[in-house]
Amino acid sequence: MQPQQSNPSQPTVQEQEMLELINRMRLNPVGELDLLINSADADVNFALDYFNVDLDVLQTQWANLQPVQPLAWSDQLQEAAQNHNQLMIQADTQSHQLPGELNLSQRIANTGYNWSTVGENVYTYADSVFHGHAGFAIDWGFTSTGIQASHGHRNNIMNSNFREVGLSIIPENDPATQVGSLVITQNFGNRFNFGNSWLMGVVFDDQITDDQFYSIGEGLGGINVTAVNTTTNERFTTTTWNAGGYQMQLSTGTYQVTFAGDWDDDGQTDTETRQVTIGSENIKLDLDTDELIPTPEPTSESDSKTDTQTPSDSTTETDSKTDTQTPSDSTTETDSKTDTQTPSDSNTEIDSTPNTQTSTSELTSEPESEPTTTDNQSPLKCSASDDHLQGSADKDIIAGCLGNDIIYGKEGNDILRGDFNHRSSGGMVGGDDIIYGGKGNDRIGGKGGNDFLYGGDDHDRIWGDDGDDLLWGGLGDDTLTGDDFSGGQGSDTFVLALGEGTDTIIDFHLGEDFLGLANGLTFEELTITQGSGGNKGHALISSGDETLARLKGVDANDLIAITSGSAAIANPVFVDV
């Protein structure tokens, strides 16, 4: 008997789900497209509408995809992905290379992965695993087709050169950060001297979502998996991870694969045996135990088994391109990275290592609002006059036109915009709008005009954009962005009030913007200090034991100098509202 094969860095349940989604797409891209564009997922459906994805173009592009072998899990690629994710969260941004960080190929090499081909996808604004997968696969973005021009994320997923992947998915729900709800990095790779192909799969009970596919919470850990070579009788064993996945590298041959465990919870060991043939490519063999538990019937014996991946179902290597090179023409290392905040960038940087290739691709999200937060509804209609638009108890998308509009989001996590439903700042043209978020974690953009923007309850994100705007977060820890960060300009007022949480104020300009004091709050009650630790580099404004706001990038001494009149700036900072 050969030693048991193990994988010390197990995927989380979210990472296992992402691994299953990637391999489902690689094995059956035609079926995946239908699952993506006809899903019941509200965030995916919203993104399709929001980016106005041209489904005809998408289907034409998709027709060129061919099945490719599934990807096995790599501890080392996961380590690199995890480290990069943590840096993106610390920097509160999305990028393939943070300041002071090594490039992709160096990061991968430092984990000990002897790579011949590597690639990377990043998305820091996913709302769920499926939403992140759809973003990569569809590759939505701000183009005339709603699809990123190079569709590099999709290319990475379907690249036939890749044989392994490392995934990191970190939940990030800090209201003071822009990134989240899930921060995702996918590192794809292949190695020199790769060795035997992988047999991998997942054991699950399919009792949470009965769809013959793995869902979070369905994985069965601790199931013994034994593969016996039918010619040599060599035996290989492993045990499923906590999330339900397993894998083992096997030499070429035909194997009887036996799963053993008490999956029907009757105190007895259950077994199921399948046969696979291992060749030059990875093979996936799943076990849905829900299909193995018999349902008593009065007229027949139930012995229902699921179909599995057999050698005749195995995939073939195709010529899947990454960015500017085809895999067969790979003669230089390409470390393609994006360092700007635009969704369509996928630039390449050429290095000099022969016979190797890397590719990177990121889904970016402009500061105003990520395409992640509402259901499949079209924006409410507006007119050229002054409109009064009101949402519902659900997630709404509401956008005014160029009049002086009043918009109420009411309940739900709404996206509310003053002038038209787009994410650019809107220019100086626009009405003077009044927008109330209401309940829920809302995203509010003033666009053009001098707007009054009030978040209401919960943790809201508000962008003033162009014009002289008033931004008031209301209850909850809110994030308030004036203009420069969201592409606009103007003199904005950020409102502070007692008992409403700690707000994060972005792009506050001394001598140009104001801090409004509401509900009887006075300047004499305030304390201004320089932050430390996680607030290093930011000014903190407090009243007693309550921190009212942190001003990102503002020096407390400069703020104090202005308020004391010792600075050469005439504008007051604190005003009553």
Distance, in Å, from the CA atom of 550 to the CA atom of 311, rounded to the nearest integer, reads 60
If asked whether residues 149 and 213 sit together in one domain, one would say no
Indicate whether 103 belongs to any domain: yes
If asked whether residues 219 and 244 sit together in one domain, one would say yes
If asked whether residues 510 and 530 sit together in one domain, one would say yes
Look at residues 156, 74, 84 and name the one whose alpha carbon lies nearest to residue 121: 156
Indicate whether 311 belongs to any domain: no
Distance, in Å, from the CA atom of 444 to the CA atom of 399, rounded to the nearest integer, reads 10
Q: Kindly give the confidence (pLDDT) of every residue in the chain, 577 residues in length, as a single tens digit, with 9 standing for 90 and above.
A: 444 544 457 999 999 999 999 999 999 999 999 999 999 898 899 889 888 899 999 999 999 999 999 999 999 999 999 999 999 999 999 999 999 999 999 999 999 999 999 999 999 999 999 999 999 999 998 889 999 988 999 999 999 999 999 999 999 988 788 898 999 999 999 999 999 999 999 999 998 988 999 999 999 999 999 999 999 999 999 999 999 999 999 999 999 999 999 998 889 999 999 999 999 999 999 999 988 865 444 443 333 333 333 333 333 233 333 332 222 222 222 333 322 222 222 222 222 222 334 566 655 432 222 222 222 233 444 555 677 888 888 777 887 777 888 888 888 888 888 876 554 445 446 788 899 999 988 889 888 889 899 999 999 989 888 889 999 999 999 999 887 555 557 889 999 999 999 999 988 988 889 999 999 899 889 999 998 887 888 999 999 999 999 999 899 998 888 876 544 444 468 888 7
If asked whether residues 243 and 142 sit together in one domain, one would say no
Domain count, the chain: 3
Distance, in Å, from the CA atom of 577 to the CA atom of 518, rounded to the nearest integer, reads 5
If asked whether residues 396 and 269 sit together in one domain, one would say no
Across 61-79, b (16+ Cβ under 10 Å) vs e yields bbeebbbbbbbbbbbbbbb
End-of-domain residue from the set 194, 211, 244: 194
Domain with residue 269: its CATH number is: 2.60.40.10
If asked whether residues 16 and 157 sit together in one domain, one would say yes
- Which pLDDT tens digit goes with each residue over 261-275? 999 888 999 999 999
- Which pLDDT tens digit goes with each residue over 189-201? 999 999 999 999 9
Indicate whether 513 belongs to any domain: yes
If asked whether residues 28 and 59 sit together in one domain, one would say yes
User: CA of 77: how far to CAs of 81, 100, 144, 343, 498, in Å?
Assistant: 6, 20, 34, 25, 47
- Which pLDDT tens digit goes with each residue over 123-147? 999 999 999 999 999 999 888 999 9
Indicate whether 278 belongs to any domain: yes
Distance, in Å, from the CA atom of 306 to the CA atom of 292, rounded to the nearest integer, reads 8
Indicate whether 486 belongs to any domain: yes
Range of the domain at 148: 8-194
End-of-domain residue from the set 291, 320, 354: 291
Domain with residue 44: its CATH number is: 3.40.33.10
Distance, in Å, from the CA atom of 416 to the CA atom of 427, rounded to the nearest integer, reads 17
End-of-domain residue from the set 164, 194, 224: 194
If asked whether residues 281 and 425 sit together in one domain, one would say no
Indicate whether 155 belongs to any domain: yes
If asked whether residues 87 and 234 sit together in one domain, one would say no
Indicate whether 47 belongs to any domain: yes
If asked whether residues 40 and 84 sit together in one domain, one would say yes
Indicate whether 339 belongs to any domain: no
If asked whether residues 158 and 219 sit together in one domain, one would say no
If asked whether residues 67 and 179 sit together in one domain, one would say yes
